[in-house]
Structure 1
């Protein structure tokens, strides 16, 4: 299936990236324009395994998993147009990671990624993570492709 424009469902995501439950941090991809932008969706539920490992009484999605969510959505955006679907995409660095609000169970997390700079071997991706109308994080990741 050609994903230059469109969506990816859960099964298509599983074919493109190696992450599986409980490490898969995206349920679906919408508004996909290969190698330009994509919007990932993740329903945060109480049964997520990471909530059982928290030291706090308050159930909050760990910020490192928000970074992982952004990385997975960006990887799917890049791989969706790749001839070699099993190509490995690596995070080369985190240029910026700012967190504004906590993500709790029963939230619908939206991960909007856009390529803002590219060279032959490196991509810089900006990620805006939102819950409802609230921006919860802004993350910029460098990828080695």
Structure 2
């Protein structure tokens, strides 16, 4: 298997919101993670999304019973994975655009509502060049609320 080799000798600190915004290009209203609390280089990361009623999608999804859209939960997985990639590549991918190639096996098990804290766990399955594949799970407290496998490509400028 011809996967890219990465040197994994440095310690990685959790990423607060300012660090996240230096690493990925997303901004309000599409920044779907507030911080990354655990990063294991070239392997996994855990992101946090504090779900608030003030988010614009709740105006229409759904006004009388607000539910975080499943596609935004998957986006939070992708953004957590992007932080992992930037850290793994020591910043070489910082700010670059990343495009979904596939989303597979997406399952939504329980609604995510305002007041929930989403813990987004992503694990690298493999990578080859600019293409990275991850499995992701989103949990509220210890309850699995969503899962998916996704592939994305980092685009050069």
**TM-score, L = length of structure 2:** 0.84
SS class of match (1:79): helix
SS class of match (2:137): strand
SS class of match (1:111): strand
Higher strand fraction: Structure 1 or Structure 2?
1
Asked whether 1:132 is paired with 2:141, we answer yes
Compute the displacement of 1:6 (Å). Answer: 2.6
Unaligned stretches of 5+ residues in structure 2: 1-9
Q: How many residues align?
A: 143
Find 1:116's aligned residue among 100, 114, 125: 125
Q: 1 CA distance for matches of 2:24 and 2:129?
A: 22
Q: Which residue of 1 aligns with 2:69?
A: 62
Q: Which residue of 1 aligns with 2:103?
A: 94
**TM-score, L = length of structure 1:** 0.90
Q: Is the 8 A contact 1:4 1:32 kept in 2?
A: no
Superposed, which structure 2 residues align to 1:1-145 within 5 Å?
4-55=11-62, 57-82=64-89, 83-84=91-92, 85-145=94-154
After the TM superposition, list the runs of 4 or more consecutive aligned residues in structure 1 that deviate by more than 6 angstroms. none
After superposition, the CA RMSD in angstroms is: 1.6
